Amino acid sequence: MAAIGIVNPKAEYARGLDAFNVNLSAARGLQEIMKPNLGPKGTLKMLVSGAGEITITKDGSELLNSMQITHPTASLIARTSASMDSNTGDGVTSTVLLIGEILKKSDAYLSEGVHPRIIANGLTEGRKHIPDALKAISIPFTFGRAMLHQIAKVSLQSKLPKETANTLVDVCVDAFMSVYNPEGDSVDLNMIEIMVMQHKLQIDTRLVKGLVLDHGARHVAMPKSVKNAYILTCNVSLEYEKTEVNSGFFYKTAEEREIMVKAEREFIDDRVKKIIELKRKVCSSDDVGFVVINLKGIDPLSLEMLAKENIVALRRAKRRNMERLTLACGGSATNSVEGLTEDCLGKAGKVYEHVLGENKYTFVEDCPDPKSVTILIHGPASYATKQIELAVKDALKAMANAVHDRAVLPGGGATEIALGKYLTKLSETADPKTKLGLEIFAESLQVIPLTLAANSGLDPRETITSLHCESTQRMSTDIGLDLDTGKPALSASLGIYDNFCVKRQSIVSAAVVASNFLLVDDIMRAGLSSLKGE
């Protein structure tokens, strides 16, 4: 009897090969679920929530986060893989496939009595060489529209139908280039607002060179549309507010009360009048508009005063939009109406209100040189808009990764083919203690091109053989699979790229997790739950 059985006879446990089989079955089960989704030709999964809400996607992170995974090993793999999405935006499905494949290849040797430490040592040795091997086959990234276009296209086509993806490529690239900072060679994706409107078709998704606010003007007499607008972004209370400390106001007569009310009103009116004075100063003609977007409240009397001057006023704007507004329109956000000048104002070609059902939206468009933009996603149903939203975020992240890495990798399985050959060559001169693990690592990497071929309706074994032959004949690390023709091709010439950081983290993470599972020799249900019934 195992030691845990002596300490607690009611404990549940598995030992040795049984423990490995528990982990293997979980990894392979998750692999079989995710495998059909890989690549542009992958299939979709339909997830139905407890409330009946439908999600149709093949985004690995969305699937793992939405599925109710109860098996502890599968849950660990899911968390490890899903964490990649927050770091790199992609590579979730590939990581799951690699972990499952490494454990599956190891199973045959463990069943024959090979010690798991021998395989784990080889995986660790191979993992150390992965970053340098990837650098050797990487392609330098030069910032430009053409290369960004290809990176976004590959990312979008792996998540969406080809026709839909092609219509979104320019939208994503234009948005990315708008917020790109050439001086710091960096990009803040938080400055790209993604707004969803559930109407029209997916192909109507467009880029707004400005901002879209999810509320409208607060007075019926205010203009619904203005052109050549000045934008005042402020954080000033235009309504009476209670004091922040405990205080009281006391009066003896009704006349004293009226005097206090009048003083309070004049205090707010003076602020509004200063805004009106600025408007009269800068708006010399009727074809020039004026818009006030305030973080705090505006009371009805103040709205009435602004409406009489044809000023569009929006109150209680979201805090995250305040920085975006100044980056999109120019000017600066002010915390006081004292000393307002024209330099405080931003500019927009047009500002108008759009009503969709019971919701109102305010469009701030045609800004001169926007450093913050909005991608407006359209779709006939919530599942369609959600699918596009996830794909757009991944495409933006893919371009940001390329800028950060200053390098990309050949796609279409070319990277895995090249790494497999590198590890195989390394195993020929490796120490006997690491040789087997390196060979398993090299073979496991081939699951990516094999799956791409299978999902495209091709013969996997025939395809992988032709890829290896073509790569050997040309002595090239850039030979990948053209999914349209089913033949080997130079991935870079087709514009098929993978992110450097995504591949590095995916492959290294898979090796680490698989090594940990290989070295597990006992699984026991620990904690007080094992003492039930005593």
Q: Name residue 122's amino acid.
A: G
Confidence at residue 527, expressed as pLDDT on a 0 to 100 scale: 55
Which of these, 94, 40, 102, lies nearest to 499 by C-alpha position? Answer: 94
Of residues 242 and 145, the one with the higher pLDDT is 145
pLDDT digits (tens, 9 = 90+) for 121-169: 999 999 999 999 999 999 999 889 999 999 999 999 999 988 999 999 9
Q: Hey, where are the domains in the chain?
A: 3-140+410-531, 211-369
Q: Kindly calculate the radius of gyration of the chain based on its CA atoms and give it in whole angstroms.
A: 30
Confidence check: pLDDT of 260 > 70: yes
Query: Which whole number is the average pLDDT over 281-289?
Result: 84
Query: Which whole number is the average pLDDT over 307-319?
Result: 90
Q: Which residues contact 278 (CB under 8 A, 6 or more apart)?
A: 232, 340, 341, 342, 345
Query: Which whole number is the average pLDDT over 501-508?
Result: 94
SS3 content of the chain, % helix, strand, coil (to 5): 55, 20, 30
Confidence check: pLDDT of 312 > 50: yes
Helix (H, G, I), strand (E, B) or coil at 327: helix
Range in 182-191, 275-284, 445-454 with the lowest mean pLDDT:
182-191
Of residues 2 and 199, the one with the higher pLDDT is 199
pLDDT digits (tens, 9 = 90+) for 327-370: 999 888 888 888 888 889 999 999 999 988 888 899 999 888 89
Identify the bridge partners of residue 232 per DSSP, sorted by sequence position.
292
Q: Residue 202 belongs to what H/E stretch?
A: none
Strands (E), 53-191: 54-57, 139-140, 180-181, 186-187
pTM of the model: 0.87
CATH 1.10.560.10 fits 3-140+410-531, yes or no: yes
Look up the CATH architecture of domain 211-369. 3-Layer(bba) Sandwich (3.50)
Confidence at residue 146, expressed as pLDDT on a 0 to 100 scale: 92
Confidence at residue 1, expressed as pLDDT on a 0 to 100 scale: 43
Distance separating alpha carbons of residues 341 and 475, to the nearest angstrom? 66
Q: Which residues contact 233 (CB under 8 A, 6 or more apart)?
A: 293, 322, 325, 326, 329, 331, 332, 333, 334, 346
What does the angle CA 152 – CA 157 – CA 162 come to, to the nearest 5 degrees?
125
Read out DSSP for 224-289?
Answer: SEEEEEEEEEE---BS----SS------SSHHHHHHHHHHHHHHHHHHHHHHHHHHHHH--STT-E
pLDDT digits (tens, 9 = 90+) for 461-491: 999 999 999 988 888 888 999 988 889 999 9
CB of 346 within 8 A of CB of 325? yes
List the structure tokens of 460.
């996997």
Q: Residue 430 belongs to what H/E stretch?
A: none
Q: How far from chain centre, in Å, is Cα 145? A: 21
Which of these, 406, 476, 412, lies nearest to 154 by C-alpha position? Answer: 412
Distance separating alpha carbons of residues 292 and 230, to the nearest angstrom? 9
Confidence check: pLDDT of 303 > 60: yes
Residue bearing tokens 């405990």: 246
Confidence check: pLDDT of 277 > 60: yes
User: For 407, what's the count of Cα atoms within 13 Å in the CB-facing half-sphere?
Assistant: 14
Confidence at residue 183, expressed as pLDDT on a 0 to 100 scale: 79
Confidence of residue 426 (pLDDT cuts 50, 70, 90): very high
Confidence of residue 297 (pLDDT cuts 50, 70, 90): confident
CB of 314 within 8 A of CB of 295? no
Confidence at residue 218, expressed as pLDDT on a 0 to 100 scale: 81
Confidence at residue 318, expressed as pLDDT on a 0 to 100 scale: 87
Distance separating alpha carbons of residues 258 and 66, to the nearest angstrom? 60
List the structure tokens of 514.
């698989």
Instruction: Calculate the dihedral angle through the C-alpha atoms of 370, 372, 373, 375, rounding to the nearest 10 degrees.
Output: 160
3-state secondary structure 438-488: HHHHHHHHCHHHHHHHHHCCCCHHHHHHHHHHHHHHHCCCCEEEECCCCEE
Confidence at residue 532, expressed as pLDDT on a 0 to 100 scale: 45
CB of 57 within 8 A of CB of 493? no
Which of these, 158, 171, 149, 62, lies nearest to 411 by C-alpha position? Answer: 158
Confidence of residue 531 (pLDDT cuts 50, 70, 90): very low
Report DSSP state, residue 11. Answer: -
Confidence of residue 2 (pLDDT cuts 50, 70, 90): low
Confidence of residue 533 (pLDDT cuts 50, 70, 90): very low
Confidence at residue 137, expressed as pLDDT on a 0 to 100 scale: 93
Confidence of residue 66 (pLDDT cuts 50, 70, 90): confident
Confidence of residue 10 (pLDDT cuts 50, 70, 90): low
Confidence of residue 393 (pLDDT cuts 50, 70, 90): very high
Q: What is the mean pLDDT of the chain?
A: 87
Confidence check: pLDDT of 505 > 80: yes
CB of 332 within 8 A of CB of 220? no
Of residues 439 and 266, the one with the higher pLDDT is 439
